[in-house]
Structure 1
Amino acid sequence: MEEKQVIKALAALAQPHRLQIFRALVVTGTQGLTPAVMAEGLGVPAATLSFHLKELLHADLISQERSGRNLIYRAQYAHMSGVLAYLTQNCCQGEACLVEEATACPC
């Protein structure tokens, strides 16, 4: 993963509503959520939610799929794993890490 992609992802998550949206999508898993469900669950107005979803899409942190008349949003686990891998690459100055490795998401 390139530094530019990591910066874009971290910048997108550096906003409270976007972080909440992304976390809600991660918790939901591969089934995803519609904007209506997210707006109700997070208490975010539809127009505000739309803006934040666009930013997360632009950062490639989430995906969008049309299902009939609905849009379904899902977390992009592979991209987020790439960001985390970039951040932890060469950690501990080449020594054995003191922190246990994160387990892979069963999603």
Structure 2
Amino acid sequence: MKRKLLLAFAASAMAASVSAALPATATAQDIGLNELPCSAEFVQPWGPGAWAPPQKVVFSPFGTKDIHCTYFHGFVAAYQVDPWGNKHHLNTVNLGPWSNYTYFWDPATF
């Protein structure tokens, strides 16, 4: 009887030490929402190859400087930071086949 009790105690102690040594399996997962600098994806209307997709054309008084994109399982939206640190949306309008690639600077800040 003593031997069975000792074996049961040793087995439970070993299981506890092994589970303490292993990392937890439940971890926080990335939901896919990212905000990254993306100035390289944009060109000005007079830039070379501006109207050939997949280039994104931006009409902005600040050019293509400090543009950031938001992604959630793909591109969602873009904004531009002005020299004073204010964020401005870059909005699209329906211009036919080029509407997905044309962005206009919004003077309102958020």
TMscore range, shorter length? under 0.3
Output the TM-score relative to the length of structure 1: 0.27
* Larger-gyration structure (1/2): 2
Higher strand share: 2
Higher helix share: 1
Output the TM-score relative to the length of structure 2: 0.27
